[in-house]
A and B are shown apart, each in its own frame.
Chain A
Amino acid sequence: MKSWLVVILPALFLSCSNLLNADDNRVFLQSILIEGNRVTRESHVRSFLTAREGQYYDLDGIIDEINKSRKNLEKTGLFTSIFFNDQLNDDGSLILTIVLREKNYLHFGLAGYLGYEDDEFYSNTSLYMDYKNIFGNSSSLFVEIPFYRDYGLILRYDGLAHPYVYGLGISYRHDYLYDYDAGRIQSRLGYRFTDEVVLGADVHISREDVQSAAALQGHVSPTTSLVFLPYSEFGHVERYTKKVKNWYFLTLSPYAGYNFDSSTFFYGVDGLIDINRDLLLQIVYTLGIHASYQGGTVPFDYLIISDIRGAYHDSRAGGDYLLSFVNSLDFPWPTNNKFHVVGFFDFGFIDAHDQGFIAGGGLGFHWYTKYQDPLVFEVAYGKGFMVNLNKRF
């Protein structure tokens, strides 16, 4: 019996002393408080936190959780400042207060190009409003009213219930040039697997009625279609800190659709990658490569269109494939880095009836306001002279 105790007692002593030593280096996270969130819901903020109330952490552990939580919050794009204030109680327990400063969330303005060619002005201008974080949960409501060349209404709601993303949209557009009407209801459901990977799918139900014979070109009209578009996203559109020198964003979206009126199918795949490199002194070069391929009986509203800035407005005529390269070089003004000069040159190949190769280029002037959203003024030359004004108020 005694020999048994001789083994057990030292073992107990050792385990207790280990526990005591561990507690010396650990901190008990009593509570997490959120401050400064006038619009954003507290529950939404908490969904991005990885530190948990009521748990013990060692110093490295709590600092890692703070860094992870901050990164998650930074990537929401909702805040201009995130500060973790720590306060130790008399009993050594920790109260962590997250002090947030929110951006302004309502943007509206005028976007698009005004062009002049062959003694005629043209435009694809629209008025838009983008209300981000509308319900305090990163959701956004986007309203766009195109006018001049076409008219209509585009409404889209994008929500985030971390890690799920979802969306619902409805749009109607009448195009004067091709004399067609198109309406669409679309929904989205996605899941963010990691910081850099989102997988999901869109479903569209669309209806179109194309009157112009030139535009029709063998397509069946009117037609109602159901389209399934699984998508995957990798990387980030923007760097969340200027300390990141290289970043990219890749989307891949194969799709398939069924036209009810003609009992025909169509299919395609769309891929886009933006590769950004900070060369020196925050001069950023961006190469965007857009590749698209489609086949079957494609409704007019789903045809591949050119995405070359500065190219003639009618280059939107479709084809079976597209490969385009978008190049831009963003120079911050040396004496005022809120002002950027952006030169761009884009070119692409599109399988269309009369346009195998298209190119455009121009110069943009971007002024970053205190809300961190730029006022954009662009002059582009392709087959016409164009001015783009895009202001977020």
Chain B
Amino acid sequence: MKKLFLITVIFILLFILSLSSLNGMGQRSNRKSIELSFWHSMSIYQGDALEGLVHEYNESQNRVHIDPVFQGLYGEMKTKLMNAVRTGQTPDIAQVAIEYLDIFIQDGKVEPITDLISDEDRGDILSQFWYSVSRNREVYAYPFNLSVQVLYYNKDAFKRSGLDPDDPPKTWDEVIEYGKILTRDFDNNGTIDQWGVLVSLEGVFGFTPLIRQVGGEFLNEDATAALFNSNAGVKVMELVQNMAHEYEIMPSNWNLFEGTTAFLEGKIVMGPITCAGIKFAEENLPWELGIAPLPYIENKSVLLGGAGLVMLSKSSSRRKAAFDFITWLTQKENSIRWHKETGYLPLRKSAIESFELQGFHKLYPNYRIPVEQLPYSRPPDFTPHLSQIDQIVRYAIEDIMINKKNPKIILDLAAEKTNQILSQREE
């Protein structure tokens, strides 16, 4: 029993030693002169990647300590940030989805950072990224995690159906042709076991790029009137409606979450999904993932989505420290790491042209596809009412897809409601 006692004592001593060393590290970081809170919306592997970078920044210098806090996904973050603004308890830095930026800009809750941006960064970061965080020629956020939709497809399912896994469809017409081959009832029980495609037009974000692909727009130029009920919008909705009901190559009533789950399970072969999921899909799927450019109807167009980093501190020293962190986080090396570890787009021309990234893309060509789509990328039409309009459009699309309603009638009704909201804003 003496030996057992000895072992127990050694165990305890070793654990006390390890815990004290961990505490010691924490204490070292607490001695920094400026502590900044950073609210972010990155979860799971994206959160790990972001917190890894933050940790590295904290270790790399002694002046500033960044305290990252996950505040839920974009919608939840927006609500929490609005409450924080109301109560004056704002974080120093917050990650805000580009479509929600207008909410914080309209009442002057977020100040422009245009003057802080160096000429080098202004030229190196791609113009469409600056455009996504700018309003009225002022920059309100620093571009950070931006993405486009790409076509995910199951290469194994392609092979099983006799299709070339390296020749994915390029147009939506080809998607229909492929879909007819890929949609299968394996056990002949009358229930489809494998759907060819799922185009989940999740409100504004799924609908906008397809309208642009036929030369239309979602809103007019000054965001005062809906244009999505134009012939272009009707044409898009008829196309998607036909995929479900005429060609029967996709389920009509699955939302994006259901679709993504089904895709993971191999029940959906193709679908447009954000490139921010490539890393997760490549590392977690049991089958070989293919990534292709978003198919087009007449013109190539993809929607640029994601978030930027806003600074909410009033103190100049805290703003300076926050900006130092943000520029570090988005520098060339970290932009490449962020792209590799998540799938989000690299921000800088210098990153895209680097041998480091070209080498990575040669090994993992799926990551190159979203970068190649950048010339066709545009953010959504911005308005502070985008959330409300998004809900209206979602209901309209559901009505068209599930209840097989006439697209023109339903889109006209949705446009009418949208115009009412936009006119209230004007008043």
Contacts and interface: CB of A to CB of B under 8 A. Distances in A.
B21 A148 contact: no
Interface string A63-79: 11011001000000000
Interface in A337-366: 337-338
Interface string A127-159: 100000000000000000001100000000000
A18 interface: no
Contacts, number: 71
Given A63-B362, A85-B333, A393-B18, A114 B7 contact: yes
Contacts of A337: 44-45, 48
Given A63-B362, A243-B282, A83 B333 contact: yes
B284 A85 contact: no
Nearest to A338: B48
B7 A85 contact: no
Q: Is the interface of B mostly helix, strand, loop or mixed?
A: helix
B31 to A, nearest CB: 19
Nearest to A389: B11
A280 B284 contact: yes
B217 to A, nearest CB: 39
B333 A123 contact: no
Contact of B355 (A66, A148, A242, A370): A66
Interface in A100-144: 109-110, 114, 121, 123, 125, 127
Contact of B356 (A83, A148, A282): A83
Contacts of A44: none
Interface in A254-304: 278-282
Interface in B332-359: 332-333, 336-337, 354-356, 358-359
A23 to B, nearest CB: 18
Contacts of A192: none
B283 A67 contact: no
A229 interface: no
Contact of A86 (B1, B15, B354, B363): B354
B7 A125 contact: yes
Interface string B198-217: 00000000000000000000
A282 B283 contact: yes
Interface in A72-98: 81, 83-86, 96
Contacts of A85: 332-333, 354, 356
Nearest to A112: B7
B356 A66 contact: yes
Given A86-B355, A123-B7, A243-B283, A391 B48 contact: no
A86 B55 CA distance: 25
B24 interface: no
B165 to A, nearest CB: 16
A99 interface: yes
Contacts of B18: 391, 393
Interface in B1-47: 1, 3-4, 7, 10-11, 14-15, 17-18, 21, 44-45
18 contacts: A63-B359, A66-B355, A66-B356, A70-B359, A83-B337, A83-B356, A85-B333, A86-B355, A86-B356, A96-B355, A147-B7, A148-B3, A245-B286, A280-B284, A280-B285, A282-B284, A389-B11, A393-B17
Which 9 A-B residue pairs are closest in the complex by CB-CB distance? A242-B283, A86-B355, A280-B286, A66-B359, A281-B284, A63-B359, A84-B356, A67-B359, A121-B4
Interface of A: 59, 62-64, 66-67, 70, 81, 83-86, 96, 99, 109-110, 114, 121, 123, 125, 127, 147-148, 242-243, 245, 278-282, 335, 337-338, 370, 389, 391, 393
Given A83-B356, A338-B48, 18 more contacts: A62-B355, A66-B355, A66-B359, A84-B356, A84-B359, A85-B332, A85-B333, A85-B356, A110-B14, A123-B7, A243-B282, A279-B286, A280-B264, A281-B284, A337-B44, A337-B45, A391-B14, A393-B18
